[in-house]
Amino acid sequence: MSVQSLTEAVWDVLSRVNDPEIHKPITELGMVEKVEVDDEGQASVKVLLTISGCPMRNTIEHDVHAALQGVEGITGLDLEFGVMSDQQRDELKTKLRGGVQERVIPFAQADNLTQVLLIASGKGGVGKSSVTVNLAQALAARGKKVGVLDADIYGHSIPPMLGIADADVTGIDDMILPVPVGDMKVISIGMLKQSRDQVIAWRGPILDRALQQFLADVYWGDLDFLLVDLPPGTGDVAMSLGSKLPNAEVIVVTTPQQAAAEVAERAGTMASMVDQKVVGVIENMAYLESTCPHCDQTHRVDLFGTGGGARVSEALTLRLGYDVPLLAEVPLDPAMSASGDAGVPLVQTHADNPAAAALTGLAERLASRKRGLAGRKLNLVVN
Ligand X SMILES: Nc1ncnc2c1ncn2[C@@H]1O[C@H](COP(=O)(O)OP(=O)(O)OP(=O)(O)O)[C@@H](O)[C@H]1O
CB of 157 to ligand X, least distance (A): 5
Task: Identify which of 229, 302, 308 has the alpha carbon closest to the alpha carbon of residue 263.
Answer: 308
C-beta closer to ligand X: residue 104 or 338: 338
Give CA–CA dist 62/77, Å, rounded: 12
127 marked as part of a ligand binding site: yes
CB of 262 to ligand X, least distance (A): 16
Give CA–CA dist 220/22, Å, rounded: 8
CB of 232 to ligand X, least distance (A): 4
CB of 367 to ligand X, least distance (A): 21
- Can you give the binding site for ligand X, defined by CB under 6 A? 121, 124-130, 152, 155, 157, 232, 284-285, 330, 332-333, 336-337, 340, 355
CB of 260 to ligand X, least distance (A): 10
CB of 98 to ligand X, least distance (A): 33
C-beta closer to ligand X: residue 112 or 129: 129
263 marked as part of a ligand binding site: no
* Residue 359 host element (H or E): helix 354-367
Q: For residue 291, give the amino acid letter.
A: T
Give CA–CA dist 10/6, Å, rounded: 6
Give CA–CA dist 347/153, Å, rounded: 25
Cα angle 257, 262, 268; round to 5: 120
C-beta closer to ligand X: residue 214 or 219: 214
Q: Are 5 and 52 in contact (CB under 8 A)?
A: no
Determine how many CB atoms are found less than 10 A away from the CB of residue 12.
Answer: 12
15 marked as part of a ligand binding site: no
* Torsion sign across C-alpha atoms 373, 100, 177, 61: positive
Q: Compute φ and ψ for 281, nearest 5 degrees.
A: -125, 140
280 marked as part of a ligand binding site: no
C-beta closer to ligand X: residue 70 or 124: 124
122 marked as part of a ligand binding site: yes
126 marked as part of a ligand binding site: yes
Helix 334-342 crosses helix 354-367 at what angle (to 10 degrees)?
70
Q: What share of the chain is helix, strand, coil (3-state, %, to 5)?
A: 35, 25, 40
C-beta closer to ligand X: residue 1 or 303: 303
C-beta closer to ligand X: residue 157 or 247: 157
Annotated binding site: 122-129
Annotated binding site for ATP: 122-129
